[in-house]
Each structure stands twice: as C-alpha cells, then as structure tokens.
Structure 1
C-alpha cells in the first residue's frame, strides 16, 4: 500500500501581493495620505522592494494613478488593474487574491500578502516569517501574523471570556489569546483555490514585533503612526525607492 507524497515545500519563488484600493470608507485617500513625509503605501512597497526574500512584487489596485505611482517607486513591479466588480469596499480580500493569482504565471510559488496600512513591517520580519513556514511545511499550510494579548476580555453581555473575575489573576498569568493583526499572510495559490481563503486548514500563527504591528484603520491611527515614525526606537525605514528588480 502506497501513501500519497506530501505536496512540495513552497521554497521559491516568493510573490508579494500588495492590494491598494483608491478610496477608503473610514479615512478618505488613506493609502496615499502622507506619513513621515511620503505617501502611506510607499513605506510597505519600499520594504517589499528591499527584502531579498521577495522575488516578485504585484501591486493590485482599482486606481490607475496609484498603479502609475507604484511603478515610480519600484519600476520592476507588476501593476495589475483590479476589475470594477471587485473594487467595492465590501469585496472579500479572498476574492481579490483569487482574481490576482488567476492572472499570474503558474510558478508564483509562495504568496506573501500584506497591506499599505502596515508601514512599519520590516524586511527582516518578512524573512523570519517565510523561514518559519518553510520549516513547518507541510504540517502547516499557511501563516498569518498575530499579536499576543494577555488582557481580560468580555463579551457584549458583560460575561468574561478568558478569565475568572473571582480569582483576578495578574494579566501576565492569563492564557494568551492572539489577534490577527493583518500585517502579513503566507499561502499558496493551490491552497487559496482549494479552500477559498488565504488562511489554510493548518495555519501557523506568527507573532510580529509590537513596534512593527501597527495597522492603520482610523484617522487616529495616523497620530500614533506619526509619533512612532519620529521615535528613535522605531523600526528602520526602507528606502523611498528601490531599483532592485522583482523577478
């Protein structure tokens, strides 16, 4: 009796996909709003271009002006226009990613997806995440970034979720819970097509450093981001532009 061989490890290449909508409901023009002297999306795009572990960069947007601007930052990136049917705010990112991968060559390899709203993510962290999934493959079929939380949580009815108010343990002694922080996702095209989601059946949770994990969703988050960008302890910024080819 023979058993099926495990799927090949997603060793290479690494294709980074950066989705950029032209509009934002909560913060108008968010992806192009200035942060520390340059448009928000330039930060993560510069990081992807500076990351030796990334072989290709795909910028997906419904806004042709954003695509043109992205190519001034990373000329070798692939600019992909998003179909109008997938440009609505309520569109699932899984659908956007499926359409993107359907238009890429079959050798896209390991897919890395991140967002413009994670400007402090570093190339070193991207490299550690990729190495972690490769080491865990095939027992783990995908990876997503998380933030560890050891806080007292309650539901909307005032019931404790992860603690006993009668015992009142110190928060450092609580069992940790993990917040999906949207900083990065790693998966394969085959996995996305099979399940319809970027998070597979056996995901690896990957903790990102606190100073790299800010996700900008609200206008108030820009206040925090500006303060962090000006702080000497902030993660090192990637270049404004990088001529390195993306494959």
Structure 2
C-alpha cells in the first residue's frame, strides 16, 4: 500500500483512508479529475489523507480507468476496480464501502479503522480528518462524521407547503421565536470525512444503524461540490486560501 511520506509518527494501528470516485458524475461531468487550483479534484482528497498522521495507506475505489491513472499519479493505491453495479447513479455508496473493505482485507489483512475521504469536499484538511479519527477513538461511537452549522433552520426558515397551499414550519418551536438566534442550533452533514470500524460497516446497512458522533468543521471546509456553482465557489475559496498562506 501507498505509505504516507514524511509521517514521523509511529503508526500503531492500520488506519486506511478510502476515496470513492466513480466516473459517472452528472452534476459536474468528469469532476473527480477536473482541475481545481491546478490539481485534479481527487488529488486534493489524496493529499489531505496522506498528510493525516494517523493514516497508514490511501486506497481509491473507482470504476473509471482514467480516474485510477490520475489517482496513482498523485500517490494513491488503486489495487482493484469497482464493479459497474456499484458505480451507478443509484448505487448505495455503503455497498461500495463494503466492497472496498472486502478487497483490501482479503488481500492485505485486517484494517483497524476505515476512513472515507470524499473527493467532493476539497477544502477539508488533514486536521479535520485527524480530529474525526481522534473523536472516534474516544470509544463511544460506531461512526463519526463531519458537520457544519446549517444556514437554513427548520424552526425558523424551512417550510413545507400543504395541499391547501399553506406554508408550515418544518419543525414547530416550543415557544414563539422573535429572531433566528433564538431557534435551536441545527447542523448539516457534509462529506468531509467518515470514520468507522470495518465490522460496523460489514454488519449494518447505513450510518444510522449505530451510535453516531460528529465533528464540526469550518463552514468553508464543508463546501460540497455537486453543481457547477459549487465548483466555482470551491475554486474561489481555495484561491483565497492559497493567497492567505505566508510566503
């Protein structure tokens, strides 16, 4: 497996980062190898994973030979190709997680922790990933994922419209709210990082099957690329980050 360069910390566990990148994106065609700030989108996920001290290897699961070639060029391991039936628009990614674990553990032995590092959050950092691993290792979770504060609030700004064309708040607060600040704080799940033990993934069928815990990351780190507008926003924020770096 691809070992992280410059990792001076002794790795006592086999913690493997998996990057799931299928070739059939519809919202932003070819997004996983589309350049953003001079590097393919997938390369940002690979770099974040490789620079996380706890991670011992980075594996990419893809059905697309072009993505596999790019992933290898940027330092990831691509030891298998994902079957087409696990890479369709409606294929549950959970099953791709299972397939990847089966392939890697059958070939190379047990994995202590599974870490998913999605390509779609290129502003997520290695520090964000490390915090998720550290939170998992507190011992009270089956799965840890990343969240950001939600901009829309179901107690104040999110509505449903009934059959009579009448709007209703999605969640009714216990008391009347005079401002958004009085509404209960809510969060949005973002695809920054997921951490779980392989056994939990193999024995269950989704993230809500066990005890979930969260790590809040900065809002800009959670920008999730699903549309061309998302891509433009991520590129703008990434350029700003580069400009802010010293030297």
Short-chain TM bin: 0.7 to 0.9
Q: Distance in 1 between matches of 2:72 and 2:198?
A: 25
Give the alignment partner of residue 125 of structure 1, picking from 106, 110, 128. 128
Q: In the alignment, what sits opposite 1:167?
A: 176
CA contact (8 A) 2:49 2:117 kept: no
CA contact (8 A) 2:136 2:196 kept: no
User: How many Å apart are 1:27 and its aligned residue?
Assistant: 1.3
Q: In the alignment, what sits opposite 1:228?
A: 237
The answer to whether residue 159 in structure 2 is matched with residue 154 in structure 1 is yes
User: How many Å apart are 1:78 and its aligned residue?
Assistant: 3.8
Provide Cα deviations, 1:38-77, integer angstroms capped at 9, x if missing partner. Answer: 21111111111122121111100001121122111105x2
CA contact (8 A) 1:58 1:80 kept: no
Residues 212 and 235 of structure 1, relative CA distance in 2, 3 Å threshold: farther
- Larger RCO: 1 or 2 (CA < 8 Å, sep 6+): 1
Secondary structure at 1:22 match in 2: coil
Secondary structure at 1:179 match in 2: strand
User: How many Å apart are 1:30 and its aligned residue?
Assistant: 1.2
Moved over 4 A (4+): 163-166, 232-236
User: How many Å apart are 1:162 and its aligned residue?
Assistant: 3.4
User: How many Å apart are 1:200 and its aligned residue?
Assistant: 4.2
Q: In the alignment, what sits opposite 1:4?
A: none
User: How many Å apart are 1:198 and its aligned residue?
Assistant: 4.2
CA contact (8 A) 1:154 1:160 kept: yes
CA contact (8 A) 1:120 1:235 kept: no
Q: In the alignment, what sits opposite 2:85?
A: 85
Instruction: Count matched residues.
Output: 223
User: How many Å apart are 1:37 and its aligned residue?
Assistant: 1.7
Provide Cα deviations, 1:60-104, integer angstroms capped at 9, x if missing partner. Answer: 0001121122111105x2442001221211100011111111112
Q: In the alignment, what sits opposite 1:145?
A: 146
Q: Distance in 2 between matches of 1:199 and 1:42?
A: 30
Q: What's the TM-score, normalizing by structure 2? A: 0.83
CA contact (8 A) 2:149 2:219 kept: no
User: How many Å apart are 1:155 and its aligned residue?
Assistant: 2.4
Any gaps of 5 or more consecutive residues in structure 2? 1-11
Any gaps of 5 or more consecutive residues in structure 1? 1-10, 237-247
* Counterpart mapping for 1:89-104 below 5 A: 89-104=89-104
RMSD of the TM alignment (CA)?
A: 2.2
CA contact (8 A) 2:33 2:70 kept: no
Q: Distance in 2 between matches of 1:233 and 1:163?
A: 43
Secondary structure at 1:85 match in 2: helix
Provide Cα deviations, 1:207-247, integer angstroms capped at 9, x if missing partner. Answer: 111121100001111111121012148897xxxxxxxxxxx
CA contact (8 A) 1:122 1:235 kept: no
Q: What's the TM-score, normalizing by structure 1? A: 0.83
